């Protein structure tokens, strides 16, 4: 699997898990927010790698 696909896939998985944990805990805390930020950054970098062809 290409690196950009791995990056986007991991970002999506992190995002889904963070949302599930937020629902289970009935609220957001700093760790869930950090995981969401990390997931979004990972997805963005994956898409940038695809665009550059790296």
What letter would DSSP give residue 27?
Answer: S
pLDDT in tens, 1-54: 788 899 999 999 999 998 898 888 877 788 888 999 999 999 999 999 888 876
**What does the pLDDT read at residue 54?**
64
**What does the pLDDT read at residue 21?**
87
Domain boundaries, the chain: 3-52
Only one residue has tokens 């062809």, namely: 53
**What does the pLDDT read at residue 1?**
77
Q: CB of 32 within 8 A of CB of 22?
A: yes
Q: CB of 7 within 8 A of CB of 46?
A: yes
């Amino acid at each position: 699997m290409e690196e950009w696909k791995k990056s986007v896939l991991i970002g999506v998985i992190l995002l889904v898990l963070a949302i599930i944990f937020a629902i289970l805990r009935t609220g957001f805390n700093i760790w869930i927010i950090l995981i969401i930020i990390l997931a979004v950054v990972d997805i963005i970098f994956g898409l940038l790698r695809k665009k550059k062809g790296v």
